[in-house]
């Protein structure tokens, strides 16, 4: 909605410029034609309506057609607001309860040589002694468990080292069996595929044929250079 649309509306209704006093107050009253039609319809149906009822209808119709600004809003009474707020905002009272703590403290004079007092001292000493024994037993048990775990760990470590040593020996033996005694190249090396291998008839060491310097029938009874 802008000013151009507003002025265009005024032009269409014949009000330009805006003059609210040009429209009489009677124009805002309820339609008499509608009131007469409602009265006639009620008479035709056989229901006689009293003048007071018709007047009340006219008044209700007038009230309905009045602008919103003419109706005064109802203001709620604030006389009992303070009491109402006190009712809903009431806070509960907090009462601190004293706890009754049981104690065995002696609150009266007693003889140190009294039988009951001596028995109480003995019970207390026995209780403390049993507590110390339990703590000592627990410490001893914990120490034994730690030593046991440490012993197991040492055995496992020793076993693992022995196994690794055995594996190293086996690997060294395997490598010595699969290496040329002369050039020390392994049988699986990619540059070690220059011919066949020959075994020494005395020490069972292996050599490349090219490393022996022998050929044909000389290889049948081959003996290494270290012999």
Question: What integer pLDDT is reported at residue 133 of this predicted model?
Answer: 93
**What would the pLDDT profile of 135-162 be if each residue is shown by its tens digit?**
999 999 999 999 988 888 888 888 888 8
Q: Alpha-carbon distance 204 to 188, whole Å?
A: 19
Arithmetic mean of pLDDT, 28-32: 72
**What would the pLDDT profile of 87-140 be if each residue is shown by its tens digit?**
777 666 777 777 766 656 655 666 667 788 788 888 999 999 999 999 999 999
pLDDT score of 62 more than 50:
no
Higher pLDDT, 91 or 227: 91
pLDDT score of 68 more than 60:
no
Q: Which long-range contacts (CB under 8 A, 24 or more apart) does 173-178 make?
A: 177/206, 178/206
Question: What integer pLDDT is reported at residue 134 of this predicted model?
Answer: 93
The b-or-e profile of 167-178 (16+ CB within 10 A means b, else e) is eeeeeeeeeeee
- Provide the H-helix boundaries in the chain: 3-13, 32-44, 51-65, 81-88, 115-177, 209-212
Of residues 31, 89, 91, 97, the one with CA closest to residue 61:
31
């Amino acid at each position: 909605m802008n000013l151009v649309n507003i002025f265009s509306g005024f032009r269409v209704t014949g009000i330009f410029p805006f003059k609210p006093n040009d429209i009489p107050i009677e124009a805002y009253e309820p339609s008499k034609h509608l009131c007469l039609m409602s009265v006639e319809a009620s008479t035709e149906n056989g229901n006689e309506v009293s003048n007071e009822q018709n007047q009340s209808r006219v008044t209700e119709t007038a009230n309905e057609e009045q602008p919103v600004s003419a109706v005064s809003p109802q203001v709620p009474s604030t006389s009992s607001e303070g009491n109402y707020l006190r009712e809903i905002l009431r806070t509960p009272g907090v009462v601190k309860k004293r706890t009754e703590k049981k104690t065995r403290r002696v609150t009266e004079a007693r003889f140190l040589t009294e039988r009951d007092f001596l028995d109480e001292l003995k019970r207390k000493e026995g209780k403390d002694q049993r507590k110390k024994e339990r703590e000592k037993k627990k410490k001893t048990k914990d120490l034994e468990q730690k030593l046991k775990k440490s012993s197991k760990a040492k055995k496992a470590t020793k076993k693992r080292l022995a196994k690794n040593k055995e594996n190293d020996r086996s690997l060294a033996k395997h490598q010595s069996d699969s290496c040329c005694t002369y050039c020390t190249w392994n049988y699986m090396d990619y540059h070690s595929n220059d011919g066949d291998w020959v075994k020494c008839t005395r020490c069972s060491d292996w050599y490349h044929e090219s490393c022996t310097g022998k050929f044909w029938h000389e290889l049948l009874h081959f003996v290494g250079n270290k012999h």
